[in-house]
């Protein structure tokens, strides 16, 4: 099987412990009542992605970092004839939701896709690629397994995700402990995303950003909800090599005060912001049209089953 981790000594180039991430996602996949943990994935699936695929049916599709099959639940046999789900965590695949689409599940790392070149008509990925050590390589892998005129539709957490929490924790640690270490994993900047996709070989690119803001009573409720829902159930725990195992209570209290002072709402609650990047990229084919204008998004993961109707409407 492909490597899923590197030694801490190479953390500068490989910020994430992929073996730990696999353990976290396997543990998360076994937790009870998974539906309570899927808010962000459902919200992202329902939001715009920046353009509409130009074909009516995808004979073979690949879901990279599929988890329990969040995307498959919203696809139909009329849109995708056969689906391959790939995830690093075998427990996520074992507990995947059943779909009406014939599905094959494969345990594999996003950076090492075990498929031949020019295999898939469609590749999708939702909230998985932010944990990849080598994002350019992951994009190249996706591009390679796509057929000519195949399309990649993806969504991932962006660089401003949880900036309120990160800033509050850093300021508190500097004040109380004289230094700080990351408690929230690093994210890719939007300015780099289009360039990375282009270097991987994609063209007719569309990249958009959006924000999902959730309000909480305070920092401790933010941390509790992140650990109980988005982190534990989705396997989103920090797996950076240089992560700090715990925070002192005095530092947490200081961070809570800073959070409230800097970002607090008028009603006493505090916001937690999740930035989402939506991207569409095509593998070159001579028949391709020009890219859609930025901000012209009309289709979400949930609308993939409506592609035919949207295309007919567009032709009129």
Instruction: DSSP for 60-76, please give it.
Output: SEEEET-TTTTTGGG--
List all residues 6 or more positions away from 184 whose beta carbon is below 8 Å from its beta carbon. Answer: 161, 162, 165, 166, 169, 238
Question: What pairing do the DSSP bridges indicate for beta strands 203-216 and 270-282?
Answer: antiparallel
Which tokens in the block code for residue 64? 């990279």
pLDDT of residue 197: 95
Task: Kindly list the domain boundaries of the chain, sorted by start residue.
Answer: 18-162+186-216+235-248+273-285
List all residues 6 or more positions away from 236 whose beta carbon is below 8 Å from its beta carbon. Answer: 24, 226, 230
Tell me the residue ranges of DSSP E strands in the chain. 61-64, 83-87, 103-107, 120-126, 146-157, 203-216, 270-282
pLDDT of residue 52: 46
- For helices 163-177 and 249-263, angle between their N-to-C axes, nearest 10 degrees: 130
Mean pLDDT, consecutive 10-residue stretches, the chain (316 aa), reads 40 53 56 54 55 67 89 86 92 85 92 94 90 87 96 90 90 81 66 91 91 92 69 40 62 94 96 92 80 62 55 50
pLDDT of residue 33: 53
List all residues 6 or more positions away from 51 whose beta carbon is below 8 Å from its beta carbon. Answer: 206, 280, 291, 292, 296, 297, 298, 299
Q: The whole model's pTM is what?
A: 0.72
CA–CA dist 209, 189 (Å, integer):
11
CA–CA dist 122, 250 (Å, integer):
50
Name which of 108, 192, 135 is nearest 14 in CA terms: 135
Task: Assign domain 18-162+186-216+235-248+273-285 to a CATH class.
Answer: alpha beta
Name which of 152, 134, 132, 133 is nearest 142 in CA terms: 152
């Amino acid at each position: 099987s492909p490597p899923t981790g590197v030694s801490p000594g190479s953390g500068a180039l490989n910020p994430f412990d992929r073996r730990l991430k696999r353990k976290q996602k396997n543990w998360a996949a076994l937790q009870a009542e998974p539906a309570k943990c899927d808010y962000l994935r459902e919200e992202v699936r329902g939001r715009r992605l920046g353009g509409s695929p130009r074909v009516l049916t995808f004979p073979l599709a690949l879901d990279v970092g599929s988890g329990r099959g969040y995307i498959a639940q919203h696809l139909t046999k009329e849109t995708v004839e056969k689906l391959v789900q790939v995830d690093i965590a075998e427990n996520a695949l074992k507990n995947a939701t059943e779909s009406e689409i014939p599905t094959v599940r494969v345990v594999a790392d996003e950076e090492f896709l075990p498929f031949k070149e020019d295999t898939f008509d469609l590749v999708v990925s939702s909230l998985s690629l932010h944990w990849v050590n080598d994002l350019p390589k992951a994009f190249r892998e996706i591009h390679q397994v796509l057929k000519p005129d195949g399309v990649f539709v993806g969504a991932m957490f962006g660089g401003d995700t949880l900036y309120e929490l990160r800033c509050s924790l850093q300021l508190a640690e500097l004040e109380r402990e004289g230094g700080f270490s990351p408690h929230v994993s690093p994210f890719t900047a939007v300015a780099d995303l289009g360039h990375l996709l282009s270097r991987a070989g994609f063209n007719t690119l569309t990249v958009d950003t959006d924000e999902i803001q959730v309000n909480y009573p305070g920092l401790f409720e933010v941390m509790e909800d992140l650990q109980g829902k988005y982190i534990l159930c989705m396997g989103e725990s920090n797996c950076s090599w240089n992560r700090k195992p715990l925070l002192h209570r005095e530092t947490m209290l200081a961070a809570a005060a800073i959070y409230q002072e800097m970002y607090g709402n008028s009603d006493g609650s505090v916001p937690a912001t999740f930035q989402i990047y939506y991207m569409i990229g095509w593998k070159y084919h001579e028949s391709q049209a020009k890219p859609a204008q930025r901000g012209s998004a009309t289709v979400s993961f949930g609308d993939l089953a409506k592609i035919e109707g949207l295309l007919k409407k567009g032709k009129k």
